[in-house]
Amino acid sequence: MIETFRRQTAFIKACIQDVLKPGDSAIDATVGTGEDTVFLAECVGSAGHVYGFDIQRAAIEEAKALAKQQGVLERITWLCDGHEHMDTYPDIVHNPKIGAVTFNLGYWPDGDPAVTTQPETTLEALEQSAELLRSGGILTVCAYSHLTGQAEKEKIEAWIQNLGRGYDAYSFEVKNHRKAPTAFIVLKK
C-alpha cells in the first residue's frame, strides 16, 4: 500500500481499481499515450466500455496502437475532441454506467509541450464529469505544477472544496517535496 503513495498515478489507479467493475463504462479525459485508457479498458472487461478524449490526433493514433497490442481496442470509443465537450455526446450523456472519469493533466509526453490542458476547459470538463458519474463512481485528477499547471491545480482545489454533499472530495500530495503532483479524488455518493 505504501508503494502506491510514492507515485500519484499508481495511487490513482489503485483507487479506480477499487471502484470500477466489469461491465461498467469509463472516460479517459486525456488519452495521451493511451496507458490510462488501456488500464480503464482492462478494469471494465469485455462487457464494459471506455470513451477516450484527446485533442491531438497523433496521440489518439499512438494510443489506438497500444490498445490493439493489448487486445482491448474493441472496448474503446476514440474521440478526437476537447473533454469540455463530453456532455455533447448522447452515448455518454445517456450512459447510466459511468463508474470512473480520469484526467491526467498537462501535455502529451511525445508531443509539443505547448499543447497542454487549460484551467478553464479542465474545470468545465470536471463539472460535467461529476454530473455524468453513476452513484458510487470515482473522478480522479493528476495535476502538476508546470507553467499553467499551477493555476489549474489551484482552480481544481477551489472547485473540489465547493462540491456539494452528494460527493466526497480528497486531495493527496507529498507535503515536503516542492512542485509535487497532486491527486484529486472525488467519490459520488
Ligand X SMILES: C[S@@+](CC[C@H](N)C(=O)[O-])C[C@H]1O[C@@H](n2cnc3c(N)ncnc32)[C@H](O)[C@@H]1O
Residue number with CB closer to ligand X (24 or 62): 62
| Residue in the shown chain whose Cβ atom is closest to ligand X | 32
Ramachandran class of 121: left when φ > 0, alpha when ψ lies in -120 to 50, beta otherwise: alpha
Residue number with CB closer to ligand X (86 or 133): 86
CB atoms closer than 10 angstroms to residue 138: 22
CB atoms closer than 10 angstroms to residue 47: 10
Strand 167-172 relative to strand 182-188: parallel, antiparallel, unpaired? Answer: antiparallel
Q: Please report, as a single letter, which amino acid is at residue 81.
A: D
> Min. distance of Cβ 176 from ligand X in angstroms?
24
> Min. distance of Cβ 165 from ligand X in angstroms?
29
> Min. distance of Cβ 112 from ligand X in angstroms?
9
Q: What DSSP designation does 134 have?
A: P
Residue with cell 479524488: 185
> Min. distance of Cβ 162 from ligand X in angstroms?
22
Residue number with CB closer to ligand X (32 or 48): 32
Which residues are near ligand X by CB under 6 A? Answer: 30, 32-33, 35-36, 53-56, 59, 82-84, 104, 106-108, 115-117, 121
The contacts of residue 171 (CB under 8 Å, 6+ apart) are 157, 160, 182, 183, 184, 185
Residue number with CB closer to ligand X (32 or 99): 32
Residue number with CB closer to ligand X (33 or 95): 33
> Min. distance of Cβ 122 from ligand X in angstroms?
7
